[in-house]
């Protein structure tokens, strides 16, 4: 991975952490502090969730979700936070996990 791509990833991870903090969650960029490949993109206070951050114009959705599955621990719910330029953040998660979240509301 080239330096420009790594730098863009860092910026996206910081933006995602700022987004989560703006909504009342503790969050910070993970790799910046952990320094290893096993570090999550964002360390946060949302229990049971692994977040994979993708800040790009073209998202390979299933590849991103595959990475979230590969990096999650135990029974964490894999979530891809994605944002294109001039667009809002999207949270992408498996449909069964979405249903588990909304079922109590129905």
Answer whether residue 35 shows pLDDT above 50.
no
pLDDT of residue 94: 97
pLDDT digits (tens, 9 = 90+) for 40-93: 899 999 999 999 999 999 999 999 999 999 999 999 999 999 999 999 999 999
Query: Are the C-beta atoms of residues 52 and 78 closer than 8 Å to each other?
Result: yes
For CA atoms 2, 54, 57, 93, give the dihedral sign. Answer: positive
Q: Could you tell me which of 26, 36, 105, 42 has the C-alpha nearest to residue 79?
A: 42
CA 91 to chain centre: 8
pLDDT of residue 103: 85
Query: Are the C-beta atoms of residues 26 and 9 closer than 8 Å to each other?
Result: no
Answer whether residue 33 shows pLDDT above 70.
no
- What is the rounded distance in angstroms from the CA atom of residue 83 to the CA atom of residue 58? 10
74: DSSP letter: T
pLDDT of residue 101: 87
- Confidence class for position 3, pLDDT limits 50, 70, 90: confident
């Amino acid at each position: 991975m080239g330096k420009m791509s790594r730098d863009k990833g860092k910026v996206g991870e910081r933006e995602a952490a700022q987004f989560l903090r703006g909504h009342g969650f503790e969050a910070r960029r993970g790799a910046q502090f952990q320094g290893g490949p096993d570090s999550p993109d964002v360390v946060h206070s949302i229990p049971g969730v692994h977040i994979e951050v993708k800040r790009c114009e073209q998202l390979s959705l299933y590849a991103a979700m595959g990475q979230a599955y590969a990096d999650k621990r135990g029974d964490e719910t894999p979530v891809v936070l994605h944002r294109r330029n001039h667009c809002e953040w999207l949270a992408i998660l498996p449909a069964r996990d979405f249903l588990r979240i909304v079922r109590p509301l129905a």
